[in-house]
Amino acid sequence: MKTRLLTCVSALLWANALFAQNDNLVKYVNTRQGTNTKYEFSYGNTYPATALPFGMNTWTAQTGKNGDGWKYQYFEHTIRGFQQSHQCSSWVNDYAVFSLMPVTGDLVVNEDKRATSFKHENETAQPSYYKVKLDNNITTEMTPTERGAHLRFTFPKGQGSYLILDGYTKMSMVKIIPQERKIIGWVNNCRWAPQGFKNYFVITFDKPFAAYGTWENKKDQLSPKNLIAEGDGIGAYLKFKDGETVQAKVASSYISPEQAELTLQTELGNYKNFDETRKAADVVWNTLLGRMKIEGATEDEKATFYSCMYHANLFSHQFFEYGKDGKPYYYSPYDGKTHDGFMYTDNGFWDTFRAQFPLNTIIHPKMQGQYVQALLDAQQQCGWLPAWSFPAETGGMLGNHAISLLTDAWVKGIRTFDPKQALAAYYHEATNKGPWGSANGRTGWKEYFADGYVPYTPQTLGATAWTLEFAYDDFCGYQLAKQTNNAYYENVFGRQMYNYKNLYDPKTRFMRAKDAKGNWIEPFDPMDWGGPYTEGNAWHWTWSVFQDVQGLINLMGGDKNFTDKIDSVFTEPGTIKVGGYGQVIHEMTEMAAFKMGQYAQGNEPIHHLLYMYNYAGQPWKAQKHLREVMDKMYNASENGYPGDEDEGQMSSWYVLSAAGIYSVCPGTDEYVIGSPAFKKMTITLEDGKKFVIEANNNSKQNVYIQSATLNGKPYTHNFIKHSDIVNGGILHFEMGDKPNMNRGLAVEDKPFSLSKNISN
């Protein structure tokens, strides 16, 4: 434990030294960004998480009922609890949840009856500090540590002061220890976890209990003076002196009650009061936000950027804890055993392989090195690489994108794992179907291997999307094998990474579905959603050839045909055709709402599209559209996103795009250049080096790159290498209000593609 404490002290001193050079940036972050969301339309599907970066737990106000995936919706007017959360998507709900709710007047435990009205003007929602004054004059404040939180409840004078602990859904246990002013217990609400999973918690208070008891939330039955209870929805209640101000320190563990106590001591024990804990959390967030310092931005632009940066640094959650020796270990959500090392969970890679993890390779390479090794550890523990962990493998969405994370790390110099082990694990993934979801192994893998595509049937909904993403993942397998001189896997995956070509229809110039005999599925309407496509239509999925944009250009007949086709995405009407879904889903409504034709920034398949202009001789169109999307579709308000935020992907797209770069093809060492949103951004790397992106004469009108230099030398490429960033330096742009149609047109200026230019 001494080692761990010394590490914490050293980190805090280092952070304080950096903080002294940084502005107070947390004031710009609105954690309610994207919370004005409902089932039918998503402005983000977020909740105001008070947390440290990648912390094991978050804390949030709760407006929704226990078990509701929409835990905080901006348009709701009552709060029923302040809960520990781990949720990464409203669509998969939450796990390991318990909540605290202050009540004044009479004791009321029922979640509907205790719900108390509030006004947003009485709310402060920042990463390191949440505060709300309820309409009954109770004030609740929260500030986080990585595996816990410090809370402060201020009750109105002269009235009853109660605190309700709600065990949420499923089984729970509580034990009240009055002489220690403490509650301990556990909850096991979780959908994807081994049998025996428990989240152990400990809560200590700075004021004595005037009364106490247990209760259960099914019939709201109270058991006064009862000290211990276990069962379905079991909770506790405490009474304090009327009008009291009460501070609570909370920590939790997936390993044991003893580990929860140790974490409480190491993470919160040295803070004498709430304000000290908040100050430490402010330091952490200000230091991190200051590592991407922007200049020349309006106050609103700063709020948008730093709110997005906050969301880009929440997921994945740490799932490891520090033992008495200060070393990391964890309860595995895959095999239910305890292991040494690091583990991370709560992320869907179909969303985040595109931008969130590539951003981590720049900002958090040490953590990313731990992460990719943890992927292989998870594979050893459950037999499969994670695709969407929550906290165990769910198999959600599509593709086998763990290989993207592994390869992207390797090509960028993050080499903390055995590539032979990674390739064997991926080969197993690519030649089997696992027991969970469509992204656990591969449905249709035999047909894909033999025929080069997954045939579309009523049992293979999404088959065209699967084929395209399998081909990209196979490129990543090929790339890792090639980089590590593994000829066997290089040959296997090298034969499959061009499989996208098998579903390109030259007549319609769309990616289409085929049946088992190789016939095009008819009838075909590129506006039809669903069927062979996942959460999109042919206008969205045709572009999912990250690894070989030039190959797609060749299929379409050259640069002009290709760029004309991209242009058509914006000129086509934004008509919604429900297709195979048979009903309107929120992604459709969001696309139509922004009136940019068939361009659907609200979902991942099209996130890279605008950058594709760089591959076909028209980079200025990327510059124009990118700035339009950033300005039109992102802000720091409750309506801040054009669709689901998705574990940091939507935010990371903005953060990288605002820097003027984007990872079109993770698994390569290149970022494609767009149009920087600000006059200057200084990226401070983990080793202290700085990479500066300057955009002289930048403005809302001056979105076009006129010329560029890298470290003082003329730079015409439409991409920049990862090594150029992490080595430090200055990328300088001269901006203007008219496109420079002569810059970046040479073959060597195009970003990476597998294929050569054969059609221009």
pLDDT at 396 over 60: yes
Ordered strands of the 719-721 beta sheet: 661-662, 670-673, 719-721
* Average pLDDT value for the chain: 95
Neighbours of 393 (CB within 10 A): 27
Q: Is the pLDDT of residue 146 over 70?
A: yes
Q: How far is CA 488 from CA 338, 418, 492, in A?
A: 35, 16, 6
SS3 427: helix
pLDDT at residue 15 tops 90: no
Are the beta carbons of 654 and 322 closer than 8 angstroms? no
Task: List Cβ neighbours of 254 (8 Å cut-off, separation of 6 or more).
Answer: 96, 197, 198, 199, 200, 319, 321, 330, 331, 333
Distance of CA 66 to the CA centre of its chain: 23
| Alpha-carbon span 418 to 416, nearest angstrom | 7
Judge whether residue 623 has pLDDT over 80. yes
- Alpha-carbon torsion (201, 205, 208, 210), positive or negative: negative
pLDDT at 581 over 50: yes
**Would you say 149 and 250 are in contact if contact means Cβ atoms under 8 Å apart?**
yes
Position 18 pLDDT exceeds 50? no
Q: How confident is the model over 588-603, as a mean pLDDT?
A: 97
Identify whether the C-beta of residue 145 lies closer than 8 Å to the C-beta of residue 317.
no
**At what angle are helices 257-268 and 2-19 packed, to 10 degrees?**
40
The order of strands in the sheet holding 161-166 is 58-62, 81-85, 98-104, 161-166, 234-240, 211-216, 221-224
pLDDT in the model for residue 10: 35
Q: The tokens of 390 are what? A: 């929550």
Say what the pLDDT of residue 757 is.
76
- Say what the pTM is: 0.96
Antiparallel, parallel or unpaired: β 690-696 and 729-736: parallel
Question: What is the distance between the terminal CA atoms of the chain, rounded to a whole angstrom?
Answer: 65
Of 353, 396, 320, 288, give the one whose Cα is nearest residue 52: 288
12, pLDDT greater than 50? no
Structural Rg of the chain based on CA atoms: 26
Indicate whether 418 pLDDT > 90: yes
Per residue in 60-84, pLDDT (tens digit) is: 999 999 999 999 999 999 999 999 9
Predicted pLDDT at 22? 55
222-242: pLDDT as tens digits: 999 999 999 999 999 999 999
**At residue 696, does pLDDT exceed 50?**
yes
pLDDT over threshold 60, residue 384:
yes
Taking the CA atoms of residue 580, residue 70, residue 73 and residue 145 in that order, the dihedral angle to the nearest 10 degrees is -130
pLDDT for 179 beyond 90: yes
Whether cis (ω within 30° of 0) applies to the bond prior to 144 is no
Q: Which residues 6+ apart lie within 8 Å of 517 measured at CB?
A: none
Number of H helices, E strands in the chain: 20, 35
For residue 8, is pLDDT > 90? no
Q: What is the mean pLDDT of residues 90-119?
A: 96
Contact 658, 54 (CB under 8 A): no
Q: Which pLDDT band holds residue 675 (cuts at 50, 70, 90)?
A: very high
- Mean pLDDT for 468-474 is 98
